[in-house]
Each structure stands twice: as structure tokens, then as C-alpha cells.
Amino acid sequence: MKIKPTYRILLMFTTILLFTLAWGRTAPESQAADPVWDVKYWNNKDQSGNPVVHRTESDINYDWGTGSPVPGVVNHDNFSVRWKRVINFPAGSYRFTATMDDGMRVWVDDVLIIDSWWDSQVHSISKDIYLNAGDHEVKVRYYDAGGDAIAKLSWAPIGGPAPVPIANWKGEYYNNKTLSGTPVLVRDDANINFEWGVGSPAWNVVAADQFSVRWTRTMTFEPGRYRFTVIVDDGVRLWVNGQLLVNQWQDSNAGTYFAEVDLPGGSIPLQMEYYENLGGAVARLSWEKLSGSGFNNWRGEYFNNKTLSGTPALTRDDAQINFNWGTGSPVSGVVAADAFSVRWTRSLPFNAGRYRFTVSSDDGVRVWVNNQQIIDGWYDHPWQTFTGDIDLSGGTLPVRVEYYDNTGGAQIQLSWAQITAVPQPTPVPAPTSGTGVVQSARLNVRYGPGLQYGVITQLVQTQSVTLAGYRSADGNWVMINWGSGTAWVSARPGYLWTSVPVNSLPVWQGPVGNPSPPTTGPTATVTGVYYLNVRSGPGVTYIIIKAAPSGTVVALLGRNSTSTWANVRLPDGTVGWMSASYLTGSVPISSLPVVN
């Protein structure tokens, strides 16, 4: 039988279609790597809102100087960028290198490998990781705060063996104190329960002193509240379910730290980082479930203002003070997303001894323990960490934390640890232990280790100072000899070069801040408000330096031309401007000299 041409064509088409569908069902699927980066630009530093530019780029290798990545569209200062790309890697170890001015973070397969998220001058950070063969997602986030803007990322194979099979804790051991470079040993540790003494974790492989370890593991937990206990000599950091619970990255003599956290149950990631400096080496981690322990939660009072005034918009029990609300609200529709404040109160049991409280926040924060204020960061600031030490006689004692958010991101985290069994006397400053040379154009000399302390004077680039032998607990500030006493300067990268590593200095545990300077001229008292802002200039458009509580007596230094603002000096030496409407002065504000 002959087939007509029309049917012959239809039959051929049907055969091809069936073959194509059959091949499509059996052919293996694969995700192709991206040839370029998917890139978004924002005209802010926190990548909030909609991006102003969304495009593709072939490389991350930029030195914009003081210009804009996209002139006329993207700001030349205070902008941020996110790059994302899937890249195919052969199996092996790779060194990723990021160069930045100011902040940059790098993730590989959602693992944060480089984290330098702060204002800084140009610097580079490298991280070595092992990658299995195949596609891996790489994400980069960057922001520029001002001045020059530089963002570069590169990687190169460095060889190295395949990863060791891990059934328990993955222990990565380094022959340095900073967990940098390639580990000299990777092994499966059944538990983190080590007391190496003056010996080595692995003879002839890991050094007996000045080594570090990173342990990682995922474990199954029942829902509930847990207390984690860490005992170390020397420094330690502990993350549980992505939350940094313990941050004591400093030399210690068998320090014991506690942290509590509520876990939802299921598979929970754990990570502990440790370093040993000199002498004995101890690293132990344990935890217990606190169900039925009888501990009270935090009473959280939330206010729709920044001054904790009036009736709370919300009162609730908070299991812990560890929040990152971003640009959102603590409770949508009840508490405002900006310009809100919170007061947390709780009674807690303490053994006798000295305790260090650590609080990180964006923006203002204050902490009282046993009715004594030990931390005062009550001013607008980005994410910043404060510490305060206090000697406690033991017993159940009250703790109060106050916090406010102005605008932008809102987050706060509180932790504490016993640092000595009994109160110790204030240490006497050690002899000069090194020198420092200023690297930045200007460097403030302050009365204490933090932006909340008053400025004494400024140093200029290449100016030398002598170190007094101590540092702050977070290692971001170093004590210097100044005049007949001491003062503090920033030790962050790009600000001060030191002849000795700052982290090798002991932590200062004595009083900080200057005594109240003598007041011989006119004074004024803060009245009519719970707190009065101290600003950098005579007007509400100037940034807030600090907030002074009602009753604070300030020295009057001058006024603006309309007598609506007064130039003042606070008892801690901070100099700034206050609204004259809330000052009751010993002389009329109009009688003061006009100052700039």
C-alpha cells in the first residue's frame, strides 16, 4: 500500500517527536555553571529596599576610588553590592582572597568563609577550603561607607587531600592562633573534652603552644531551653543554631562560660572555635536541657518611643535577649519598626565572683547588674560590642537591660560569664610593652575603650605612642601612656600599627573613663526630659553622640548665635551640643560666648 506524501510527512514528524520525548526522559539533568555574576546595587549600606541597578558582570575586580560604580545612579559613598554566581570547580583545595575597602563577606554553598563587615581601609583576607567536584554557589556582599571604594575577589587551587570522613566532630587544627591558612590536621573527634596540659593535640603535627582549632557538627536536639558550658584555656567562641552564644576570644586561665538558648528541635548546627596561647591547654564543651529548672524568663516591656516613656505597647516574656529584627518590627502591627525601645528585667542566681557582661547592639544599650550600671552605650551606633565587669557576692540578683532603635537595622545580644572565682584587686598598669604608629589620617585619643568615651585629642598619621600593656576585652582598643596617665586608641586594622600583637596583651579589668573634670565656670542641669541627646552640632540634623539622663550636671562652654543650643562638656569629658530648652543653667544661656 502506498502512503500519500501528506501522511508520510506527518508520520516522520510523529516519529521524531516521540524519539525526542523519550530521549528527554532518559537524558541526565545537570545544572550549568553561570558564565557571569548576577549583581545588584543599593544606595544604602545594608542592602535594604529595592536595588537601583540589577545587571551581570564578568568579574569582581573593582577599584572605584572616590567615584561611583554607576555614575548618576549609584552613590559614590554609602552604597552596597551583592554578587551571586554558580561556579563549577574540579575537586581540590582552593584559596579565596577578598580585598576590600570597607566591608565584605563571602559565602560558598551558604557557608560564610570570609567575614570583614566593618568600616576599614583597604586590606585583604584569605580563606582555604576544600571543594568536591561540581557546581558550587558563591555569594559576595560588600558595602562602602565613604572615601575610597575597593571590592575584589579571586581564588586559586592550592592542592591538598580530600576531606577526612567525619562521624562526630570535625576538628580542624592550625599552627597559629587565628584559624588561618590550611589546617595541619583534620580529624574526627568523638567529643570536645580535652586537657592537653603543656603538650600537643597531635605530637609532631600540631604545635604545643599558639595553635587553634575549629570544631563543627550537626546534632539532633529535642525542643526546649538548653544551657551550654564551655571551659577553656585560652580563647573560645561558640555558635549554636547560627547564634553566637559565647564570644571570649582572649587569653584566660581555665575560664568557664555559660550561655542559654531556646532550640526548636531537630538537626541543629554547632560550631566551636578555640585557641591556645601559652602554658596549659584546655577545651571542654557540654550542655544540659533546662526543662523544669524553674528559671524565670526576661520581662520585656516594648515602647513605641526611644525613651522608655509612657505605657508599654507590649509586655511579654522573652526567653533570652538575642534578637535580630533587621529593618522589621519586634511584633508587626504592635511595635514600630523604628524609634522603639525595650526594657528587660530579670532576677538571676550568681555564685560569688567577678563577672563579665557582654552586649552587642544597634543602636543604644544600657545594662545594670545588682542595681549598678556597668554598660552605657546610649547613643546611635551601628553594630557594636560593649563589655562591663562587676564583682558579685552571690545570690539571686536583679539584672536590667535597656535598648532603643532609631532607624535602620535593629538587633541586640546579651551574654555573661564568670571570669574569676573571687573578686580580684584592680591591676596596676604594666610597664610599656611596645610602641604604636598611627596609620590613619587622624586617630582619636579617648578616655576609655569605646566611642562612648570622650575625645582627649587627635593623633596624626605616622605619630608614635607607647603602649601601656593592656587591651580591651574585644581586642578593638589598646591602652597607651598619655601624659602622666593612660588613654585609649582604636586598634582596628588600618588605624594603628603595633610592635607587638594587640591580642597578646592582657585584658584591662580596672576602671575606665576619666574622672569628672573640675568645673570652675558656669554649669547647667538636664531637666524636663528623661534623657537629653548630646549632638555633634547645634541642631537636630547633627548626629547623636550620647544621651545624658535627667539631673546630669554639665559645664557650659558656649552657645549658638540664637541661644537655642548650648555647647557643653559632660562629666566623662564628652563635648557636644544640647538643646537649651532642657537646661537649667547657673547663668542665662544668652550670656555665654558664641562658639563654632
Long-range contacts: 317-320, Cβ < 8 Å, 24+?
Answer: 318/344, 319/225, 319/260, 319/262, 320/260, 320/261, 320/262, 320/414
Given 359, 387, 420, the domain boundary residue is 420
SS (H, E, C) 317-356: EECCCEEEEECCCCCCCCCCCCCEEEEEEEEEEECCEEEE
Q: Is residue 259 situated within a structural domain? A: yes
Q: Grid coordinates in use for 517?
A: 573634670
Q: pLDDT-based confidence at 595, cuts 50/70/90?
A: confident
Q: pLDDT-based confidence at 175, cuts 50/70/90?
A: very high
Q: Is residue 425 situated within a structural domain? A: no
Q: Is residue 13 situated within a structural domain? A: no
Whether the pLDDT of residue 369 is over 50: the answer is yes
Determine how many CB atoms are found less than 10 A away from the CB of residue 335: 20
CB-count exposure of residue 50 (10 Å: 0-12, 13-18, 19+): exposed
Most confident range, picked from 42-46, 199-203, 289-293: 42-46
Q: What is the pLDDT of residue 554?
A: 87
CB within 8 A of 590, min separation 6: which ones?
559, 563
* CB-CB contact of 281 with 196 (8 Å): yes
How many whole angstroms separate alpha carbon 103 and alpha carbon 100? Answer: 6
Q: Do 455 and 555 belong together in one domain?
A: no
Q: Do 278 and 302 belong together in one domain?
A: no
Domain containing residue 408: CATH number: 2.60.120.260
Q: Do 75 and 137 belong together in one domain?
A: yes
Distances (CA, A) of 490 to 123, 158, 445: 17, 35, 8
pLDDT per position as a tens digit, 333-351: 889 999 999 999 887 888 8
Q: Do 60 and 128 belong together in one domain?
A: yes
Domain containing residue 487: CATH number: 2.30.30.40
- Higher-confidence residue of 26 and 86: namely 86
**Strand ranges (DSSP E) for 472-587?**
477-482, 485-490, 496-498, 523-526, 531-535, 544-549, 553-559, 565-569, 575-579, 583-585
Whether the pLDDT of residue 19 is over 50: the answer is no
Q: Is residue 429 situated within a structural domain? A: no
Q: Is residue 77 situated within a structural domain? A: yes
Whether the pLDDT of residue 519 is over 60: the answer is no
User: Cell 519586634, residue?
Assistant: 330
Q: Do 63 and 123 belong together in one domain?
A: yes
Determine how many CB atoms are found less than 10 A away from the CB of residue 171: 25
How many Cα atoms are found within 13 Å in the side-chain-facing hemisphere of 14? 6
Q: Is residue 9 situated within a structural domain? A: no
Q: Is residue 18 situated within a structural domain? A: no
Residue 363, preceding bond cis, omega within 30 degrees?
yes
Given 446, 472, 504, the domain boundary residue is 504
* CB-CB contact of 228 with 285 (8 Å): yes
Whether the pLDDT of residue 132 is over 50: the answer is yes
Q: Do 339 and 238 belong together in one domain?
A: no
Share of the chain above pLDDT 90, in %: 37
Q: What is the pLDDT of residue 2?
A: 45
- Higher-confidence residue of 26 and 284: namely 284
Q: Do 57 and 90 belong together in one domain?
A: yes
Whether the pLDDT of residue 517 is over 70: the answer is no
Whether the pLDDT of residue 473 is over 60: the answer is yes
Give the range among 6-10, 27-31, 73-77, 355-359 with minimum mean pLDDT: 27-31
Q: What is the DSSP string of 65-131?
A: ETS-SSTTTS-SSSEEEEEEEEEEE-SEEEEEEEEEESEEEEEETTEEEEEE-S--SSEEEEEEEEE
pLDDT per position as a tens digit, 207-221: 999 999 999 999 988
Q: Is residue 427 situated within a structural domain? A: no
- Higher-confidence residue of 291 and 172: namely 172
Side chain identity, residue 481: N
* CB-CB contact of 262 with 221 (8 Å): no
Q: Do 303 and 401 belong together in one domain?
A: yes
**Strand ranges (DSSP E) for 145-223?**
149-157, 169-174, 185-189, 193-197, 211-221
Residue range of the domain that includes 460:
434-504
Q: Do 442 and 552 belong together in one domain?
A: no
Q: Grid coordinates in use for 237?
A: 567562641
Given 475, 504, 533, the domain boundary residue is 504
Q: Do 531 and 552 belong together in one domain?
A: yes
How many whole angstroms separate alpha carbon 416 and alpha carbon 247? Answer: 9
Side chain identity, residue 374: I
User: Cell 532550640, residue?
Assistant: 263
Whether the pLDDT of residue 516 is over 80: the answer is no
Q: What is the DSSP string of 192-214?
A: SEEEEETS-SSTTTS-SSSEEEE
How many whole angstroms separate alpha carbon 184 and alpha carbon 202? Answer: 10
CB-count exposure of residue 95 (10 Å: 0-12, 13-18, 19+): middle
How many whole angstroms separate alpha carbon 138 and alpha carbon 3? Answer: 58
Whether the pLDDT of residue 548 is over 80: the answer is no
Q: 3-state DSSP call for residue 550?
A: coil
Q: Do 481 and 569 belong together in one domain?
A: no
Q: Grid coordinates in use for 393?
A: 557576692
User: Cell 564628652, residue?
Assistant: 574
Give the total number of structural domains in the chain. Answer: 5
* CB-CB contact of 491 with 498 (8 Å): yes
Instruction: Give Dmax over CA atoms of the chain in angstroms.
Output: 121
Query: Average pLDDT for residues 274-285, to the nearest whole number?
Result: 92
Q: pLDDT-based confidence at 27, cuts 50/70/90?
A: very low
How many whole angstroms separate alpha carbon 35 and alpha carbon 86? Answer: 8
Whether the pLDDT of residue 461 is over 80: the answer is yes
Q: Do 174 and 257 belong together in one domain?
A: yes
Q: What is the CA radius of gyration of the chain?
A: 28
Most confident range, picked from 1-5, 129-133, 327-331: 327-331
Q: What is the pLDDT of residue 520?
A: 65
Q: What is the pLDDT of residue 276?
A: 94
Q: pLDDT-based confidence at 513, cuts 50/70/90?
A: low
For 395, left (φ over 0), alpha (ψ -120 to 50), or beta?
left
Q: What is the pLDDT of residue 29?
A: 38
Whether the pLDDT of residue 7 is over 70: the answer is no
**Distance between terminal CA atoms of the chain?**
107
Q: pLDDT-based confidence at 289, cuts 50/70/90?
A: confident
Give the range among 166-170, 323-327, 559-563 with minimum mean pLDDT: 166-170
* CB-CB contact of 150 with 100 (8 Å): yes
How many whole angstroms separate alpha carbon 216 and alpha carbon 276? Answer: 18
How many whole angstroms separate alpha carbon 235 and alpha carbon 237? Answer: 7
Q: What is the pLDDT of residue 8?
A: 55
Q: What is the pLDDT of residue 529?
A: 74
Tell whether the torsion through CA atoms of 155, 159, 165 and 168 is positive or negative.
negative
